[in-house]
Amino acid sequence: MVNLVNLTRPIKQGEISNELPSRRANYFSVPFYALPIGCLLFVPLALLLLLRWRRESLAAWKTIIPEHLQKALVIGEQGWKSQLPLKLLSAILSLAIIVCAGPTWQREASPFGEDQGELVIVLDTSQSMMQSDLPPSRLERAKYKIRDLLQARQGGKTSLIVFAGSAHTAMPMTEDNQVFLPFLNAISPEVIPVQGKSAQAAIPQIQSQLKGSSSGSVLIISDGVASEAIEQYKTAFEDSNVLVMVMAVGSERNQSSAATDWDSLKQLANDTGGRYYALSIDNADVEQIAIDVERHMQISGESAMLGVIWATIWSFLLCC
**Which of 166, 145, 109 minimizes the C-alpha distance to 279?**
145
- The span from the CA of 158 to the CA of 150, in Å, is 8
More confident residue, 66 or 251: 251
175: left (phi over 0), alpha (psi -120 to 50) or beta: alpha
- 211 vs 198, higher pLDDT: 198
- Three-state DSSP state, 129: helix
pLDDT at 138 over 90: yes
Average pLDDT over residues 104-124: 64
Query: What confidence category does residue 38 fall into, taking pLDDT thresholds of 50, 70 and 90?
Result: low
Q: Is 266 left (phi over 0), alpha (psi -120 to 50) or beta?
A: alpha
**Average pLDDT of span 2-10:** 37
- Mean pLDDT of all residues in 270-284: 94
Query: Cβ contacts of residue 197 below 8 Å, gap of 6+?
Result: 124, 126, 128, 163, 164, 165, 224, 225, 226
Q: Measured between alpha carbons, how far is 83 from 76 in angstroms, rounded to an integer?
A: 10
> Which of 87-91, 166-170, 289-293 is the least confident region?
87-91
Instruction: Name residue 294's amino acid.
Output: E
How far is it, in rounded angstroms, from Cα 271 to Cα 244?
Answer: 10
> What average pLDDT does the segment 299-303 reach?
60
C-beta separation of 33 from 39 below 8 A: yes
3-state secondary structure labels for all residues of 225-265: CCHHHHHHHHHHHCCCCCEEEEEECCCCCCCCCCCCCHHHH
Report, as an integer, the average pLDDT of 27-32. Answer: 44
Most confident of 64-73, 133-142, 205-214: 133-142
Q: How confident is the model at residue 88 (pLDDT cuts 50, 70, 90)?
A: confident
Contact 153, 193 (CB under 8 A): no
Return the pLDDT at 58: 57
pLDDT in tens, 220-243: 999 999 999 999 999 999 888 899
